[in-house]
Structure 1
Amino acid sequence: MSTNAQARKTDVARLLPAEAAGIDPIARLFRALGDPTRLRLLEFLLTGEHTVGDCVAQVDLSQSRVSRHLAILASCGFVTLRRAGRFTYYRAVDKPMADLVRQARAFAEKNTAALLSRIRLDGGR
């Protein structure tokens, strides 16, 4: 292996934990963000604190489905919640989430053709 190739391999390896077990949470992060509804909710919650009802109106799904998506986002640490009486208010973890969404969007825009090709990531045909 050339010195340049080895240097590139070392640089890439530093992006992920050395142990395989350390990669699992990162993969789960991407799986959690792999749902279009969750991405729409996350974008909406980046604008400020909102109730479940606000989120339902934003994505036009049932309250139970929206609550499930919000629970997944909260369990992953993407959003925080605050209870006040009968209401629960959700808010995205501001800067890190906004940066991640912006970077993902920029990557997707540069690679639209490949991402929309006939290749299925879920193994289906």
Structure 2
Amino acid sequence: MTEPGKEIQLIQSELYAKFFHGLSNPTRFRIVESLLDGEKSVSELVEILGANQSQVSNQLACLKWCGYVTSRQEGKYIYYQIADERVRQILELARQVVADNAAHINSCTRM
């Protein structure tokens, strides 16, 4: 049986892993990156990503559920934007780390 403190740490670790897993899908990551420039409609995102509308909508639903993006409706269009400016900061930090370690990350076979 696990000690209560260690069980809480395990649950928190799983939550953090799920949070980062939310950005591990290339389409979800590209959606979030695209929204750094400002809000966009689903059709704009479909055009930017070159993906089908169903795929983009499914990924947006995931991103919205987990708190990366929010949406607003205007007529028949739904516009998405970054939900929290800290998401922008996380991506900026990730870009810096990747820039410093790109060759190693690219050649990593353990992930």
Q: Select the structure that is richer in helix.
A: 2
Structure 1 residues 18-40: Cα deviation after superposition (integer angstroms, max 9, x where no partner): 62112221110111111222111
Runs of 4+ in 1 over 4 A off after TM superposition: none
Task: Give the letter aligned to residue 88 of structure 1.
Answer: I
Structure 2 residue 69 is matched with structure 1 residue 79: yes
Q: What's 2:30 paired with?
A: 40
Residues 50-65 of structure 1 aligned to structure 2 (within 5 Å): 50-65=40-55
Inter-partner Cα distance in structure 1 for 2:25 and 2:96: 18
Unaligned 5+ residue runs, structure 2? 1-7
Q: Is the 8 A contact 1:55 1:66 kept in 2?
A: yes
Secondary structure class of the residue paired with 2:79: strand
Task: Give the letter aligned to residue 34 of structure 1.
Answer: S
Q: CA deviation at 1:94?
A: 4.7
Q: CA RMSD in A?
A: 1.6
Give the paired residue count: 105
Inter-partner Cα distance in structure 2 for 1:51 and 1:100: 23
Structure 1 residues 71-102: Cα deviation after superposition (integer angstroms, max 9, x where no partner): 11111100001122211110012521111001
Q: Is the 8 A contact 1:46 1:93 kept in 2?
A: no
Secondary structure class of the residue paired with 1:107: helix
Q: Is the 8 A contact 1:46 1:94 kept in 2?
A: no
Structure 1 residues 91-115: Cα deviation after superposition (integer angstroms, max 9, x where no partner): 0125211110010111111111211
- TM-score using structure 1 length: 0.77
The structure with the larger Rg is 1
Percent of paired sites with the same residue: 35
Secondary structure class of the residue paired with 2:67: coil
Residues 67-106 of structure 1 aligned to structure 2 (within 5 Å): 67-106=57-96
